[in-house]
């Protein structure tokens, strides 16, 4: 039975269609005969406690130059729809949190939201991985510059990053005794001259296996796609993120990858996190991406998959 499917995303006109996972989802939904609607962050509202959105009919094409057509906008009660794909990129700031509250109101009225709005609020992509200490490398989250310096000294070499970044932005690799460490910490902590920080930063022991790639493992309702995309750093760069210039190479899941998935999957299912990307370097889980995981297009192309099709199989099974 055809569904009404809305997407909440960043402006569709700015995407890179050859690599955009959200577009892959929309193309699959349209292929199945579902009706598509489009909205951006500014299109949500609450009217007398009812969740509304300014929706525009959407048609999509797998065309690198002309991939979408939008119709005339109309305000509608979100509870009239069947599914919303929440695909807004980080940061998960106050406005993002308010969006999840509107969507949660619609969810209580019967709308299916992928991923669950409460889980999007609760599961910071860096901190959520720490709920699985058996899977992670040594990690410290702190606002205290002296503690972070001590951690780097203990590890010998570490990676520092903000809690709200994406695409490899704001990430530093540092060795104990590096003369730039204080400056890095001031930047990350937004701190003052005496080491006091206003923002959390996360420090992880550097994992040399990054040279073989930062693997993205996609899960649908806790079940893994059998191949990961290893994002391999290029040249002198230590970051594997595709947005930072990494090269994507598909690889089969290892036994360790599948063990990590088995550790994490029950909690993902419990929270309603239906489409998730795990980041794994070597033997270690480093992040759990829940807001707008990517790499579908790359894996589809390399292995002849239809990952968005697996997602919509799952969505349709629960909607029927």
Q: Where are the beta strands (DSSP E) in the chain?
A: 4-9, 35-39, 44-47, 50-60, 68-70, 74-77, 83-87, 112-114, 139-142, 157-162, 172-175, 201-205, 214-220, 223-224, 227-232, 247-252, 275-281, 284-289
Give the SS3 label for residue 91.
Answer: coil
168-175 long-range Cβ contacts below 8 angstroms, 24+ apart: 168/239, 168/240, 168/241, 168/243, 168/244, 168/246, 169/243, 171/239, 173/206, 173/238
Q: Which residues are catalytic?
A: 126, 161, 216, 231, 239, 279, 287, 289
Closest by CA to 83, choosing from 104, 110, 108, is 110
Cβ–Cβ under 8 Å, residues 217 and 224? yes
Q: Give the integer Cα–Cα distance in Å for 287 and 307.
A: 21
Q: What are phi and psi of 23, to 5 degrees?
A: -60, -40
Residues 6+ apart with CB under 8 A from 255: none
């Amino acid at each position: 039975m055809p569904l009404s499917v809305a997407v909440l995303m960043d402006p569709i006109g700015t995407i890179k269609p050859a690599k955009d996972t959200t577009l892959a989802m929309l193309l699959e939904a349209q292929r199945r005969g579902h009706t598509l609607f489009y909205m951006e962050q500014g299109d949500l509202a609450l009217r007398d406690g009812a969740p509304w959105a300014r929706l525009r009919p959407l048609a999509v094409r797998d065309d690198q130059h002309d991939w979408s057509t939008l119709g005339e906008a109309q305000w509608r009660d979100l509870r009239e729809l069947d599914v919303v794909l929440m695909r807004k990129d980080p940061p998960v700031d106050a406005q993002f949190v308010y969006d999840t509250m509107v969507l949660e109101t619609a969810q209580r009225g019967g709308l299916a939201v992928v991923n669950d709005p409460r889980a999007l609020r609760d599961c910071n992509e860096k901190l959520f991985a720490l709920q699985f200490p058996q899977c992670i490398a040594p990690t410290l989250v702190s606002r205290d510059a002296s503690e972070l310096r001590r951690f780097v000294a203990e590890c010998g070499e570490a990676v520092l990053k903000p809690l709200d970044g994406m695409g490899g932005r704001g990430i530093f690799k540092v060795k104990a005794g590096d003369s730039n460490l204080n400056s890095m910490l001031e930047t990350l902590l937004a701190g003052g001259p005496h080491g006091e920080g206003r923002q959390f930063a996360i420090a992880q022991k550097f994992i040399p296996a990054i040279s073989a790639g930062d693997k993205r493992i996609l899960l649908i309702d806790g079940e893994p796609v059998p191949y990961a995309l290893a994002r391999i750093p290029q040249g002198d760069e230590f970051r594997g993120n595709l947005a930072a210039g990494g090269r994507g190479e598909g690889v089969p899941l290892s036994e360790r990858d599948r063990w990590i998935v088995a550790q994490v999957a029950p909690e993902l299912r419990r929270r309603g996190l239906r489409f998730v990307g795990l980041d794994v370097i070597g033997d270690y889980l480093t992040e759990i991406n829940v807001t707008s995981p990517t790499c579908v297009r790359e894996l589809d192309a390399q292995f002849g998959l239809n990952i968005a099709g697996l997602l919509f199989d799952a969505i349709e099974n629960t909607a029927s």
